[in-house]
Amino acid sequence: MLVNNNLDIIVFRGDVAPYLSPESGAASLNVNKIIRKELRSQVQTALYRSRKESKVFKETVRFKHKGETKTVNIEIRPLKTPEFDESFFLVLFTEATLKNLNLTKELESIVSTGEIENLKDRQIRELREDLEATKQSLQTLVEGQEATNEELRSSMEEVQSSNEELQSTNEELETAKEELQSGNEELQTLNEELKNRNQTLGRLNDDLTNLQTNIDVSVVIVDNDLKIRRFTTSAQELLKISPADVGHPIIKVNPGFLIEDLEKMITEVITKLIVVSEEVEGVKGRCYEMRVRPYLTSEKKIDGAVISFVDITERKLLEKERNLHTVNLESQVKEQASKIIQSERLAAIGQTAGMVGHDLRNPLQTISGETYLAKTELQTLPEREQKTSIIESIDTIEEQIKYMDKIILDLQSFVKPIEVHKQTVYLKKLITGLLAQINMPKNVETNVKIDANIAVVADPHLLKRVFINLSTNAVQAMPKGGTLTIKAQPNSQGQVQIVVEDTGVGIPEDVKPKIFTPLFTTKPKGQGFGLAVCKRVIEAQDGTIRFESQVGKGTAFFVDLPQEEISTK
């Protein structure tokens, strides 16, 4: 058996039934109550001495079990383990069966030989040994009792001392009781005051809760550390915050829209006691006026800041509409003024168009004729350096004459009513013919992608002027070379679309609205009538003209004219 320091059995091993005899009454595993009476004194004595001297003790005991005499060796071994502070004892029972048999045989042998006297002596010796063991057990019990009495005496002294202390403590408790009664009366008075204050605070809290829930303005209150203290329901929806964010810094809240320098703004309000206002853009195009004010306590101390957001989207839209109307009105006024000035200029041009056509055209024709005669006469002279120089000068004069003649023709075409003489015009023949008349630079490649059977109903002379103008403009837009492409294709509306496309510098965005405006030009040389005349000419033939352009990639003009149905019979 394994027993602890209190002699309670913890573990059984083997057949211990012959050595146990539990007493009637409450169940117990204590050695003193469960072991057989014949073995109890020896086991108690051995356990006491083993516990006191911390060594192994052995005893041999005879007892009767089921009518038979048994001899058992009892061994007590003290055990100490590092895992437990208390001591344990191992109680071993070893039955001496073989020894008893030998003793029986020995007794029979003695009786049979008649040596009864020796047997009596042995029995007396064994009885003396038992008596000695009993004396030792009794001595052990006496020593244990004396130790117990000493402990009880010491305990009584301690109890008496404790009793005196308890009496003193009781007197102190009586005094404290009187003080507590007095304090209790004060606490009742304070409790009544607190109850009244709690009622007032509860009413204020209800008012504040209803104000937070029903107010439309988004408000957030933060402390001096910029941590969220309280917010309204509309602020919770606007800033995407929840009750779990209370106590967290507001700068870590992600409202879904940008608020620049919020931390700096709140800190400045708290330190300088100023009010800051700023417009911020929210989600879905909403606009808010954010105001940051210092939070003042009843003692006039700064304890944070109050941040409010007022939705000013409607106001901003009204302001934007008002500004737009103002800009449109100013634009209309400028446009009307420009139209008045333009009409006055065009009226002046119209008045002088006849004079220009008559007074300038006739001298130009005379100069052109004389230039031609001078150039013909120079051809008969011998080759000299002066001759070459004179011929180059005459070529320059001829170019300037053609340019002046084009200006006069454009001016007259813009002012005079356009007379249209429609007929069937084959586009490929017309385009290839006019490209041959243009002095095309070597670094410009021309492509004509027109089927020979495609024809339109138009005035060939007017059409030729339009495409010469568009082709010349395209060449001038490619000073570093490029590709000029002219193509035509019938469409489903009974028209033919002619495209004049270049890979030149393109038209800037700010120039595009003015491209067909009279007297507007981006060229160093030019009066701004070319594209305006082209538009008038095309529209006079029931056609349309438009363009597409991208800076750095080129320009394409689209001319739509009525298609001529050609019979294939």
Secondary structure class of 499 (helix, strand, coil)? strand
Please, which pLDDT band fits residue 569 given cuts at 50, 70 and 90? very low
Please check the confidence at residue 433 and state whether its pLDDT lies above 70.
Answer: yes
> What average pLDDT does range 93-100 have in this prediction?
69
Return d(Cα 473, Cα 555) in angstroms, integer.
Answer: 10
Please check the confidence at residue 355 and state whether its pLDDT lies above 50.
Answer: no
Please, which pLDDT band fits residue 358 given cuts at 50, 70 and 90? very low
Tell me if 495 sits within 8 A of 542, measured CB to CB.
Answer: no
The topology (CATH level 3) of 215-311 is Beta-Lactamase (3.30.450)
Please, which pLDDT band fits residue 445 given cuts at 50, 70 and 90? very high
Please check the confidence at residue 97 and state whether its pLDDT lies above 80.
Answer: no
Report residue 502 CA to chain centroid gap.
49
Looking at the DSSP bridge assignments, the partners of residue 89 are: 3, 78
Burial of 278 (0-12, 13-18, 19+ CB in 10 A): middle
Please, which pLDDT band fits residue 566 given cuts at 50, 70 and 90? low
Of residues 229 and 339, more confidence is placed in 229
Return d(Cα 168, Cα 417) in angstroms, integer.
Answer: 133
Looking at the DSSP bridge assignments, the partners of residue 561 are: 496
Query: Angle at the Cα of 530 (from 526 to 534), degrees rounded to 5?
Result: 175
pLDDT (0 to 100) of residue 236: 79
pLDDT in tens, 376-386: 666 666 665 55
pTM for the whole structure: 0.35
pLDDT in tens, 145-175: 778 888 888 888 888 888 888 888 898 898 8
> What average pLDDT does range 174-202 have in this prediction?
87
Average pLDDT, the chain: 79
Return d(Cα 18, Cα 16) in angstroms, integer.
Answer: 6
Residue 244 structure tokens: 């779990």
Return d(Cα 443, Cα 440) in angstroms, integer.
Answer: 9
CA dihedral 238, 244, 248, 251 (to 10 degrees): -20
Of residues 286 and 133, more confidence is placed in 286
Of residues 439 and 354, more confidence is placed in 439
Please check the confidence at residue 99 and state whether its pLDDT lies above 70.
Answer: no
CATH of 2-114, one of 3.40.50.720, 3.40.50.10160, 3.30.460.20, 3.30.450.20: 3.30.450.20
Please check the confidence at residue 136 and state whether its pLDDT lies above 50.
Answer: yes
Tell me if 533 sits within 8 A of 413, measured CB to CB.
Answer: yes
> What average pLDDT does range 199-228 have in this prediction?
79
pLDDT (0 to 100) of residue 125: 74
Tell me if 480 sits within 8 A of 454, measured CB to CB.
Answer: no
- Are the folds of 2-114 and 215-311 the same? yes
Return d(Cα 265, Cα 60) in angstroms, integer.
Answer: 97
pLDDT (0 to 100) of residue 226: 86
pLDDT (0 to 100) of residue 118: 66
Please, which pLDDT band fits residue 333 given cuts at 50, 70 and 90? low
pLDDT (0 to 100) of residue 527: 52
Residue 228 structure tokens: 């969220």
pLDDT (0 to 100) of residue 455: 92
Domain spans, the chain: 2-114, 215-311, 317-395, 421-562
- Asked if CATH classification 3.30.565.10 holds for the domain at 421-562, the reply, yes or no, is yes
Of residues 410 and 76, more confidence is placed in 76
Please check the confidence at residue 402 and state whether its pLDDT lies above 50.
Answer: yes
Least confidently predicted of 276-285, 427-436, 489-498, 524-533: 524-533
Return d(Cα 127, Cα 477) in angstroms, integer.
Answer: 145
Please, which pLDDT band fits residue 567 given cuts at 50, 70 and 90? low
Please check the confidence at residue 337 and state whether its pLDDT lies above 70.
Answer: no
Please, which pLDDT band fits residue 101 given cuts at 50, 70 and 90? very low
Please check the confidence at residue 348 and state whether its pLDDT lies above 60.
Answer: no
